[in-house]
Structure 1
Amino acid sequence: MSLLRKSIPSLVSLISFEAAARLMSFTKAADELNITQAAISRQIRELEHFLQMPLFERGHRSIELTPAGAMLNASLPVHLTAIASLADRVRE
């Protein structure tokens, strides 16, 4: 299990990234997740630190996915949905 902990970023940071990437806004992601914009920003920085690369290009009032961010965004929603579905099945 410790290998997984070192290989997989936190679920909270992945969920924050998914919302920010889908909405293309840290502020809108924060509103959707009922947390502060600073918390979203901190989670994204944590994920970028874990992956050792930037996921967003930050502009004055805009964000854009980097190639690494686009790669993560291309498949992450499917995997998060799979985890949610698994949790639903276990609850049943």
Structure 2
Amino acid sequence: MHISLQALKAFESAARLGSFKAAAAELAITPTAVSHHIANLESRLNIDLFHREVRKITLTPSGEYLSQNTTSGFKLIFAAIE
């Protein structure tokens, strides 16, 4: 299964910040790009990661699990680089 690093970064940022718009600002991409990355990730994993409401997103249980692990993984990578 091929999952892009950009999709994981977009997901992790949106999950941590609670907003596609805030994730877009952090990653210097458009909110539409964040949405596309996350939709692609959900498609490849065949699960919903977020509950989407008007101007509000919340993590599904699967999204919460992936969020905890991607955040931990990125922290390990950044610590190794430092």
Give the deviation of 1:18 after TM superposition: 0.5
Q: Deviations over 1:52-90 (max 9, x none)?
A: 01100000110000011001012111112223344x27x
TM-score when normalising by structure 2: 0.91
From 47, 50, 55, the equivalent of 2:41 is: 47
CA-CA distance at 1:26 after TM superposition:
0.2
Between 71-80 and 20-29, report the one with greater CA deviation: 71-80
Identity between Structure 1 and Structure 2 (%):
41
Letter aligned with residue 64 of structure 1: T
Q: Which aligned segments of 4 or more residues in structure 1 are displaced greater than 4 angstroms?
A: none
**Partner in structure 1 of residue 72 of structure 2:** 78
Structure 1-normalised TM-score?
0.82
Greater RCO (CA < 8 Å, at least 6 residues apart): 2
What are the Cα deviations for residues 4-44 of structure 1, in whole angstroms up to 9, with x where unaligned?
xx2x5211100000000000000000011110000000000
Larger radius of gyration: 1
Amino acid in structure 1 at the alignment position of 2:64: A
> SS state of the match for residue 51, structure 2?
strand
- CA-based RMSD of the aligned residues comes to 1.3
2:27 is the alignment partner of 1:16: no
CA distance in 1, matches of 2:4, 2:78: 15
